[in-house]
Structure formats: C-alpha cells, structure tokens
C-alpha cells in the first residue's frame, strides 16, 4: 500500500518533469517535429474514421442529385467556363507583357506557383481555436508554414505536418498574423485573426490612412511565407476614435473559411531561393 503510493509519487514527479520539459522544448525549439509527426501518423486512422460518415453523406448527396439539377449545373458551368477562358486570354497576354517588362527591368520574374488540391477532414480540434486538418502530408511534400488557399482567397498556413495529413492554422485564429496591403494604393498593414469566424483585424493603420469600406486587401508577400497578390478580405468596418492613435479596421475574409471542402496547397516563391542566394553572395562580398 505505502509502496504503491510512493511509486505513484515518484511517477508523478517524473512524468510531470517530462511533460514540462517537453512543453519548454516544443515552445522554443524545433526538435519535436519528428515526434509530433509520428504520433499524428498513429492518430490519422482515428481521424479518418471520424471523417467517414461525413464523407458518406457527401457521397450520397452527390450521387442522388436529379438529372435536372445536373443539366442546369452543366449549363451554368459551361457559361462560366466560356467567361473565364475569355478573361484568361487577356490575362495571358498581360502576363507575357509583365514578364517582358520585368526582364527589361532585370528583376526576377514570378514563376507560376505550384498547387495541389487537398481535402478537408471533418474533425474537431479545439474550441476557441481556428484550425482544420487536410488529407495531404509529408508524402505529398507539404511543409511547415506552407500557404493554403481556396478559390476565393487565402485560408491559412500549415503548422504541423504528418505523414498523411497536416494541420492548417486559419487566418482567423487568434495566433495568426498575415502581412497584407491594400489593393487600391499599396498601403501595407498586418491582418490579425481574433477567433471569430468571419472577421480579421487590421492593425497599425493610422487614423488618417487612406482607407475606405469595401477596399480589397491582398497579401503583400512580405515575410516570404505567403505568395503576394492573393486576395485576403474586404474592409467591412472602420472605427475612428480620435483618442486612439490607430484606426480600428475590421475586414471580412474572402476565402470560404467555414464552407470550403477542398483547398489548394501552394508552393510559392520558386525564385526566392535564387534571390536569397544572391543576397548571401552579396553579403559575403
């Protein structure tokens, strides 16, 4: 009896110290990535099981649509396709021109970003946080900090990579900040999440900044994590308080953060490597 209690005490101390040192290391250093990814590989089957019924429901709703809706959909998609391809023609001309001009300026031109479609896995992670799990991982080349977008805008970035799945931190999470700029005048700011589903806060914009409700906010590409030029949100509300030095700006994300089932993982900045090498060389000299 007493022996058991003593051993429980020892174990409590041992495992507590182990937990606390784990926390300390995980917070400050990067050593535990392998531990986490291997545990998440063990956990993935469970998440897969949780996701199954939702997948089945979706499958049923897809396979039980009527012929009429299919035909309507088809009609609509054809129209959309026509519209988009005509826009794309113009875009291609512009892109070629842009590249030519950039070559004239001798600045590195932007390559097309490589993308991969991933599917959301319907699992719950944690209340008060905004995170989702996607079904692509190390196997497909996902990496920590990789940007994730959907058809309408930036969704977030990958924070943990497992073998078959990864965790994405959404831009609305209170721990997420994103360097952005106004599309209209290039004014730079930082969009910080605050835990609400469809709200971001723009911080450090002075009261007299040239901003209007409805302005489009795009990613600025500063910080080199997100590709530049992807839409982030639209300004929804501006509160000017003369006693505060910064304006309170709320933006509404354009990405369908709660509705998208399919997302795009982006491999941006293929030219950045050469750029950093150049910088490094310059620094050496």
Partner 1 sequence: MISIKQDQGNGIIIGSFVLAIILTAWPLPDWATNWRPAWVPIFLIYWCMAIPDRVGIGVAWFLGLLLDVIHSNILGQNALGMVVIAYITLNSYHRMRVFPLAQQAVLVFAYLLIYELIMYVISIYTVNRYLDLTYWMPAVTSMFLWPWLFVLLRDLRRKYNIT
Nearer to partner 1, 5 or 67 (CB): 5
Binding-site size for partner 1 (CB under 8 A) equals 43
Examine residue 36 and tell whether it contacts partner 1 (CB under 8 A): yes
- Of 40, 181, 220, 254, which one interacts with partner 1 (CB under 8 A)? 40
Q: How far is the CB of 204 from partner 1 (least distance, A)?
A: 17
Among residues 137, 117, 113, which one has the least CA distance to residue 230? 113
Distance CA 102, CA 92 (A): 15
Among residues 205, 207, 202, which one has the least CA distance to residue 191? 202
Under 8 Å between Cβ of 229 and 221: yes
The piece of 17-25, 80-88, 134-142, 233-241 that touches partner 1 (CB under 8 A) is: 17-25
Nearer to partner 1, 117 or 125 (CB): 125
Buried b (16+ CB within 10 A) or exposed e, 112-137: eeeeeebebbbbeeeeeebbbbbbbb
Identify residues 42-71 at the interface with partner 1 (CB under 8 A): 42-43, 46-47, 49-50, 54
Residue 230 backbone phi and psi in degrees, to 5 = -85, 140
Identify residues 195-234 at the interface with partner 1 (CB under 8 A): 195
Q: Which helix (H) or strand (E) holds 169?
A: strand 166-170
Interface contacts to partner 1, rule CB under 8 A: 5, 8, 11-12, 15-16, 18-23, 25-27, 32, 35-36, 39-40, 42-43, 46-47, 49-50, 54, 122-129, 131, 159-160, 167, 174-175, 194-195
């Amino acid at each position: 009896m007493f022996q058991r209690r003593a051993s429980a005490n020892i174990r409590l101390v041992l495992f507590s110290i182990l937990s606390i040192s784990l926390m300390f290391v995980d917070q400050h250093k990067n050593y535990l990535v392998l531990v986490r990814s291997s545990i998440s590989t063990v956990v993935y089957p469970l998440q897969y099981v949780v996701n199954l019924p939702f997948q089945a429901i979706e499958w049923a709703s897809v396979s039980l649509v009527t012929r009429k809706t299919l035909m309507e959909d088809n009609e609509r998609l054809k129209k959309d396709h026509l519209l988009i391809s005509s826009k794309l023609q113009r875009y291609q001309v512009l892109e070629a021109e842009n590249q030519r001009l950039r070559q004239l300026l001798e600045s590195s031109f932007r390559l097309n970003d490589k993308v991969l479609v991933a599917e959301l896995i319907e699992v719950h992670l944690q209340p008060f946080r905004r995170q989702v799990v996607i079904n692509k991982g190390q196997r497909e080349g996902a990496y920590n900090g990789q940007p994730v977008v959907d058809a309408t805008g930036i969704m977030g970035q990958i924070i943990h990579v497992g073998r078959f799945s990864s965790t994405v931190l959404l831009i609305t999470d209170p721990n997420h900040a994103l360097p952005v700029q106004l599309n209209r005048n290039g004014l730079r700011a930082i969009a910080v999440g605050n835990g609400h589903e469809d709200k971001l806060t723009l911080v450090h914009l002075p009261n007299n900044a040239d901003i209007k409700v409805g302005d489009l906010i795009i990613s600025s590409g500063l910080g080199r994590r997100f590709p530049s030029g992807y839409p982030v949100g639209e300004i929804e509300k501006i509160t000017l308080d003369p006693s505060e030095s910064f304006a309170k700006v709320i933006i509404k994300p354009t990405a369908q953060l709660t509705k998208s089932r399919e997302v795009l993982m982006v491999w941006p900045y293929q030219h950045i490597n050469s750029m950093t090498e150049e910088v490094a060389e310059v620094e050496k000299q």
